[in-house]
Structure 1
Amino acid sequence: MFEYLVAFIIALGCGIVSAVIGLGGGFLFVPTLNFLFNLDVKTAMGTSLAVIVFTSFTASFWYHRQGKILYKIALIMIPPSVLFSVIGSVITHYVDARILVGIFSVVLFLISFEMLIPAFRFFPEIRFGPSFMLSATVPSHETQPVTLVPYSHLLVWGAVGGLLGGLTGTSGGTIFVPALATIGVPMHYAIATSMFTIIALALAGSISYAALGQISLPFLIVYGIGAALGACLGTVVATRTNELQVRRIFGVLLICMALLMISSQVL
């Protein structure tokens, strides 16, 4: 019982942090489940993805009320993200855990770079085929009225985010948010749209993990409740916190987590 109380408190903290820095939380769920509660890497990833269903749904509810979700963009990204999330989660069943840890560690490094260097963007704009005007979905005072959003950009990065989410048990938000920002979507709209997109991705991926027996139901329940509550509190904390300082602190923390996960497989 004490173990689950500790897990609830940790999940609560993870949910708050995720809301403050605008990412889904899987980058914190996986290491804590693996290191602190001794879940094997694959089960930690599957459980993490299932927990993200709770946090993304909770956050999306509040973002919807704020009118920040760009549903046209989300609905374009959801199909490829769902498809590749399932593919990624199935691949984990046949891949050595050390390779998955390596992939996850690379993701942590990329997220940390994004936090420590705000101008860092590792997502080139993909522009071919038809586009639509961003001003049709975002109020004109939020962005340039002539910004065009290529369908190809949304489809490609939706697929990449889904694959990475399925492979690593993360939300895919580390792909979606900067990819949307690259084409001119205002950051708070990018975060809200990403969180809504993540619901379908996480649900599809977690169902695949569950079918493979790679989800811990007790930790899913405890982490899900704690993280969802934390996400609600985080929306309040975010308005009273220096986001830049928080991002720097957790940027360094993520580098440490990546190194720890690598060392755990080497030593």
Structure 2
Amino acid sequence: MRLERAAAALLLVAALVPLALEAAQRRGFRQPAATVPYDSHFVFTRIRYGATFGGGRFFGGGGWEHDYPTAERNFAAILDYITNMRVRKDGSNILDLEDPRIFENPVLYMSEPGYWSSNDAEAKNLRAYLLKGGLIIFDDFEGEGHWRNLAAQMRRALPDHHFIKLDVTHPVFQSFFSIEHLNVPHPTVNVPPSFLAMFDTNDPSGRMLALANWNNDLGDYWEWSAEGLYGSDPTNDAYRLGVNYLVYAMTH
């Protein structure tokens, strides 16, 4: 098993090379919000909230759309390359939380939840989704204010649950790669990263409902991986975390 995982780690590094050409060809292209037909493949599913395209806080997009669509395209290619999962590489989903199609997708991804605000219908649907077996991943947010907003929004959906800080011994960090440390720095902000999760019945040995990359931005690493903007070590660490999250979600 150790040899298999070491080999997989080498493949992860190698897989970034062919992505460089594709990213260079597509840089600047922004496909419209869309979904792909359900066909049992894993589809990267991003949650939309608030403003439409172009309403973000950064040039080129922010909020729910930050790093879209390059982050999911690159991540899907890596996931397909090094696992046995059936992965859709030709498209991804963008869904609102009240959309019933979220139940077709085992994992949801939300960028910048520090700016997220949910209504009653969204909170109700998210609660049903999580209690029926889904997992939501929160990424790209930092600071106490953003954390308080995420916690408040999740209380609307799951008032009896709370986030629990994870360390590297949790099985999610050993589900595919043997991750030895969680010192994966935020790519652009000098803040200490933390990884927290919400569990069924608040039991860390139970089923995971939500996972938060606080003070981090894995999606930014994925988006710029082909260009090598942030260096190979933290970029590959960001991919390893993402792959582990997906493998864990699909096997627990």
TM > 0.5 between the two?
no
Q: Into which bin does the TM-score normalised by the smaller protein fall?
A: under 0.3
TM-score by length of 2: 0.26
Structure whose residues are more often strand by fraction: 2
TM-score by length of 1: 0.25
Structure whose residues are more often helix by fraction: 1
